[in-house]
C-alpha cells in the first residue's frame, strides 16, 4: 500500500513538474538572476534565477532604483510622504500657494519630484489656480492633492 501511494505521489509530482516546465512562465520578477537566465524556460531556470536574485539581494535595489529590469514604483514612497506632508501642513501650504513661493511650496515640489527647472512654472500654475485647489474651507488634504493633480495635468 505504501508503495502504491508513493508511486501515485511521484506520478503527480512528475506531471506537475512537466506542466510547469512547459508553461514558459517567468515567475522570478526582476534582478540579476532574471537577466542572466532570461529566455530560458523551465522550473530549473526559474529556481536558479530566483535563487540568484535572493542570494545577492538585488531585487530590492533594482525596484528602488528602477534598474536591473525592475520598474520603480510610481512614487510609492513619495505619495505617502506627500499625503502626510499635505495633511500636516494644510494652512502653511495654502499660504505659500497663494503667494506663489515659500518653504512649504518648495517642499511640495520636491515631494512631487518636480525638476528644479520646472518649479517656477509649477508655483505659478498652483498660485493661479489657488481657488480650484483650496475649493472650500472644509477641503481635505486628499481633496487638495487631487485638485493639485488636476491643475498640473491640465496645464
* 35-45 per-position pLDDT tens digit: 777 777 777 77
Tell me, what's the pLDDT at 24? 45
Q: What percent of the chain has pLDDT over 70?
A: 69
Query: What is the model's pTM?
Result: 0.51
Same domain, 143 and 94: yes
Given a contact cutoff of 8 angstroms between Cβ atoms, the answer to whether 85 and 105 are in contact is no
pLDDT over threshold 70, residue 49 = yes
Enclosing domain of residue 13: 2-65
Considering the domain boundaries, does residue 149 fall inside one? yes
High-pLDDT (> 90) share of the chain, %? 39
pLDDT at 81: 86
* 81/136 same-domain check: yes
Q: Please say if the pLDDT value at position 52 is more than 50.
A: yes
> pLDDT confidence of 64, banded at 50, 70, 90?
low
Residues 6+ apart with CB under 8 A from 150: 132
With a CB cutoff of 8 Å and minimum separation 6, the contacts of 137 are none
Same structural domain for residues 16 and 57?
Answer: yes
Do 53 and 89 belong together in one domain?
no
Please indicate, yes or no, whether residues 94 and 53 belong to a single structural domain of this protein: no
Considering the domain boundaries, does residue 51 fall inside one?
yes
Lowest average pLDDT, out of 58-62, 128-132, 133-137, goes to: 58-62
pLDDT at residue 13, as a whole number: 52
Residues 82 and 134 in one domain: yes
Residue 76 pLDDT class (50, 70, 90 cuts): very low
User: Out of 62-66, 119-123, 145-149, which region has the weakest mean confidence (pLDDT)?
Assistant: 62-66
Q: How many domains does the chain have?
A: 2
Pair (30, 61) in one structural domain: yes
Give the pLDDT mean for 51-68.
67
In a domain, 71, yes or no: no
Confidence grade of residue 70 (pLDDT, cut at 50, 70, 90): confident
Taken as a whole, the chain contains a residue count of 155
pLDDT higher than threshold 70 for residue 97: yes
77 CB neighbour count, 10 Å cutoff: 10
Amino acid at each position: 500500500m505504501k508503495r502504491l501511494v508513493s508511486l501515485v505521489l511521484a506520478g503527480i509530482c512528475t506531471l506537475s513538474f512537466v506542466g510547469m516546465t512547459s508553461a514558459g512562465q517567468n515567475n522570478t520578477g526582476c534582478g540579476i538572476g532574471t537577466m542572466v537566465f532570461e529566455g530560458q524556460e523551465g522550473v530549473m531556470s526559474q529556481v536558479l534565477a530566483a535563487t540568484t536574485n535572493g542570494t545577492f539581494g538585488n531585487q530590492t535595489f533594482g525596484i528602488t532604483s528602477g534598474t536591473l529590469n525592475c520598474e520603480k514604483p510610481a512614487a510609492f514612497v513619495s505619495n505617502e510622504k506627500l499625503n502626510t506632508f499635505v495633511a500636516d501642513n494644510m494652512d502653511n501650504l495654502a499660504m505659500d500657494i497663494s503667494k506663489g513661493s515659500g518653504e512649504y511650496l518648495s517642499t511640495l515640489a520636491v515631494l512631487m519630484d518636480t525638476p528644479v527647472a520646472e518649479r517656477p512654472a509649477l508655483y505659478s500654475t498652483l498660485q493661479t489656480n489657488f481657488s480650484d485647489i483650496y475649493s472650500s474651507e472644509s477641503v481635505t488634504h486628499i481633496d487638495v492633492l487631487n485638485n493639485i493633480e488636476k491643475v498640473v495635468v491640465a496645464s
